[in-house]
Structure 1
Amino acid sequence: MARFAHVPTEIIDRILCFIPRSGLPNLCLVNQSLRQSAERFLYSTIILHWDYSDIPPIILLLRTLLQRPELFTYVHTITFLGDDFDDGTPPLPDIAEIPFEQFIPAIEKTQVPYTKLWIDRLKTGNMEALVGLLIANLSRTRRLALNHGFINGCSLVGKVIQSKVFGGGQLLAFEQLEDVRYIKEFDYSFPENNSTFTDVLSLFYLPTVTHISAWIPNPTTFSWPAGEPNLDHLTSLDIDWLCESFMAKILALTRNLKSLSWTWECYSELDDVDPWKTSTLDLDAIIAVLSHVKRTLERLQFLLEIGEASLIDDEPKMTVLGSFSNLVHFNRLTHIDVPFVTLADFGPDALPLERYLPDSVEVLSLSTGMLVHDAVKWYTNDFDRGNGDDADDYFVQMIQSLAAVYPTRLPRLRHINIVDEHCCFQNGNLATLTKGLALGFDVQITDRCGWFDQRESFEYQTPAVWEQDSLEEPS
């Protein structure tokens, strides 16, 4: 073992890559040298899952990290993944297990203006107080994901993040953060929990972040909290709910954006409280917003949703203006993922799809989003769930029309993906019909299941690395 201690770090790291995470705690008990190597893998990825049956071992984790602060520097990826708890009270950690004599001084050390609030919530076993304490001590983390139950408007977590971004107290700044995911579902039970606008905007001031995925509620007015940020470093963006005028304020500053996913929502009921709710889809206005990134954008995903979970039998009747025809001029786009109806002028006599597509397109994904909704003017019962024969024929004709202009008009097209969001093709006829066609490009039928999990979390397995007491000092 003494000889093994002199093996170069690169070789040891290569060996440890093949060790299951469950075996790393045992390696830490072998000797001090091996412990130092194994701990970098043991703490590199942290996933804390919180739901009605699973309380994350965050107290045990914090106790270990605060005892040995150098371990915080090993945390490169951290995911807080949990339920939205919109139908009940979430389970909380056992107060008796919280070492207040250790955690309270750690909070006081931050010297933030909300120290008293933070300590008061810690004493009640509040999960936000524990999560905030963990995030407060991260500095070299590269990827951070928070979702649903961990995100509430005007919360401690949001306050801590803002303090780390803008400065405040003695909190460590994020030095290497590259990927941030801040995904939240709309909270109907407690509307005040949806006030996360300022929290999300603070993420855009992080100087090293290249990707942001966030749910942004529309404010009454859009105002940058500390002047316009420099977003030259931002290359990928995934935004839910933000309306056109506010989205334009962000995209106008993204000079190097290559990938954009934007979810637009149609509302059945408009109100004075949220003046940005709309049932009018202005495709020309959408294209005008996207024009800010026309010279750099390579991947575009545009999604349509019914806002605030409106019932299918009470869906909004959309007013549709303009078209996506100017998308043809976005000549850097290689991947396009849009609802089929946005390329069909929302009418039965749609223009040929190739008139919308730039020559640069390589992968085209067409989803059935809004296809079966009353909101779409050319809705017919033939496209309803469980009756997809005519839908099959329609899509086959559409695919054949693209094949007719390939490769002269679309020389780089190599893959078409039909994304079935409403079970339009349950009978499998479309897959059978397209398989026998000589197209020159691949055709695939998939669904969007699991997509939200991918946005919210970096990994899916939960490593059991703190389910035992603090590691004993090895010999």
Structure 2
Amino acid sequence: MESLLSSSDLHALCLVNKALRTLAEPFLYSKIQWTWAREESPPPITLLLRSISRRPQLAAYIRIAIFEGKRYGMIFYKTAKLPVSIAELDELVAFVRNIKLPCRDFWIKELRSGTVDAFVALLLSRLSNLTFLRLEPNFWQESRFIGLMLRSALCAESADYELPKFEHLRAVYVDEFFDASHESRVNQRRGPPFVTNTADVLPFFYLSTVKSISASIDNPVTFAWPAAHPPAASRLVSLDLTRIREAHLGQLLEVTPKLETLRWGWYYDSTLKTREPCNTGIIDLDQNGAAISYVRSTLTDLTIIAGYCMYDRVTSKGSLRALVQCDKLKSLEAPWPFLMGWLPEGAMQLKDVMPRNIEFLTITDDMSLEDDYKWHDDDAKLQKIQSWLENWRTHTPHLRCVALGIRDSSDYGWDEIRDEFKELSARVGMRIEVIELDYSRPVWGP
């Protein structure tokens, strides 16, 4: 029924008679999806909460919850307070009192003031059958109560709270929040200020059934799990992480013994150094390799994307030799300096970092605008690739394709480079190509 009828059709069926409502309601409520920008009317979150307070079985029908914001370039702007009446609040306050959290009085106060985070946390606390959750910053603001609710539900030793354990949740997407509530503040900096969110995101790793997590995680001075013990994310097979640096990456990967896919967005902004001491302009490749070593026996796909503020200077130390130990790694995408270093002279050999069972390799031009990047001579790149591929069957017998990934091919002589790669491809018996990359974050869903 769900695949054949629209939401409006299902709603119309619910109004015909009780029998049809019984059939249609589980499909009508199975997925809630709201998009909210600051200039738009708020979604009907208070209306849904009131319906659930009167008919709790409606919450059990909700499997998918998608709360989307609208970007303005890189920035999400804070949304306004939710308009609420005293009559609407009476039923919602009863919800909060039943949860029995120590902060319930403050939570009630924030509900009365229309704080978005307080309402979203309350709604999530009713959705015990969720299988997919997507939270974007217009709903994931400050996350005082969302984070508190998650820590209490998933990490607290006390069982007194009336909160779900989210035992069906398989996939979680929580996006970064750039606090752009004051445009002048953003313009005074080189980029939008970030929100500290580690304590609010880490509880998701305690989910017993979660298979995929996509999240931006900041870099606290001391990384600490929110429970007395670290999680055992034994079912987690896919991680999409941004912002977190190599100093803390290993502590996440250490608890994911079955991870197969890792997409990691390395990021540096010098304006964050005062509160994130590990967020420096030095890429510690040894530390990066040590972190990946935790999943070397399970990882099949690894993507590393690098970004930094254009006014900052970036360099690296160490190497990614640890990748050689990733016996199951089949697909690898990484910036050239992560694999080869910043200078052609004395650069790493690809055979020294390439796992033996690799099948697809993409070397990107991330960091190519950095001052220390000296690989602007494409002949030097070609020579390095050529020296490796002359004996590729010995070192990487399962290799199927090598690609040079570029951000923009519109104003450069890539046709000539493609011709050189085509010639090399014919000579060594390997598909080699130049591809233009799409660096937009994947918008994945249930």
Between stretches 254-263 and 139-148, larger displacement belongs to: 254-263
Cα drift, residue 443 of structure 1: 4.1
Residue deviations 1:75-95, cap 9 Å, x none?
A: 112122114796865233333
AA in 1 matched with 2:305 = L
CA distance in 2 between partners of 1:75 and 1:358 (Å): 43
Please tell me whether residue 335 in structure 1 is matched to residue 331 in structure 2.
yes
**Could you tell me which residue of structure 1 aligns to residue 188 of structure 2?**
none
Cα drift, residue 397 of structure 1: 6.4
* 1:15-94 matched pairs, under 5 angstroms: 16-54=2-40, 55-83=42-70, 89-94=78-83
**Could you tell me which residue of structure 1 aligns to residue 195 of structure 2?**
194
**Could you tell me which residue of structure 1 aligns to residue 241 of structure 2?**
239
CA distance in 1 between partners of 2:50 and 2:257 (Å): 43
Residue deviations 1:366-387, cap 9 Å, x none?
A: 322111222x33164xxxxxxx
**Could you tell me which residue of structure 1 aligns to residue 261 of structure 2?**
259
Residue deviations 1:418-454, cap 9 Å, x none?
A: 4433x25556637964678645447462423432x51
Secondary structure of 2:206's counterpart equals: coil
Percentage of identical aligned residues: 30
CA distance in 2 between partners of 1:87 and 1:298 (Å): 33
CA distance in 1 between partners of 2:388 and 2:4 (Å): 46
Cα drift, residue 286 of structure 1: 1.2
Gapped regions of structure 1 (runs ≥ 5) = 1-12, 381-389, 460-475
**Could you tell me which residue of structure 1 aligns to residue 169 of structure 2?**
177
Please tell me whether residue 144 in structure 1 is matched to residue 133 in structure 2.
yes
Match for 2:84 among 87, 91, 95? 95
Match for 2:97 among 104, 108, 112? 108
Secondary structure of 1:164's counterpart equals: helix
**Could you tell me which residue of structure 1 aligns to residue 216 of structure 2?**
215
TM superposition score normalised by structure 2? 0.83
Residue deviations 1:224-254, cap 9 Å, x none?
A: 2222222223222222222333222222232
Asked whether the 8 Å contact 2:343–2:373 carries over to 1, the reply is yes
Cα–Cα, structure 1 residues 361 and 425, in superposed 2: closer, same or farther, change >3 Å? farther
**Could you tell me which residue of structure 1 aligns to residue 365 of structure 2?**
368
**Could you tell me which residue of structure 2 aligns to residue 133 of structure 1?**
122
CA distance in 2 between partners of 1:435 and 1:19 (Å): 51
* 1:283-432 matched pairs, under 5 angstroms: 283-306=285-308, 310=309, 312=310, 314-316=311-313, 318-349=314-345, 350-374=347-371, 376-378=372-374, 380=376, 404-405=390-391, 409-421=395-407, 423-426=408-411, 429=415
Asked whether the 8 Å contact 2:210–2:236 carries over to 1, the reply is yes
CA distance in 2 between partners of 1:271 and 1:403 (Å): 41
CA distance in 1 between partners of 2:194 and 2:321 (Å): 39
Cα–Cα, structure 1 residues 398 and 19, in superposed 2: closer, same or farther, change >3 Å? farther
Count of residues in Structure 1 that have an aligned counterpart in Structure 2: 424
Secondary structure of 1:194's counterpart equals: coil
Gapped regions of structure 2 (runs ≥ 5) = 186-191
Cα drift, residue 28 of structure 1: 3.0
Secondary structure of 2:66's counterpart equals: strand
Cα–Cα, structure 1 residues 44 and 407, in superposed 2: closer, same or farther, change >3 Å? farther
AA in 2 matched with 1:81 = E
**CA RMSD between the two structures:** 3.2
TM superposition score normalised by structure 1? 0.78
CA distance in 2 between partners of 1:340 and 1:40 (Å): 51
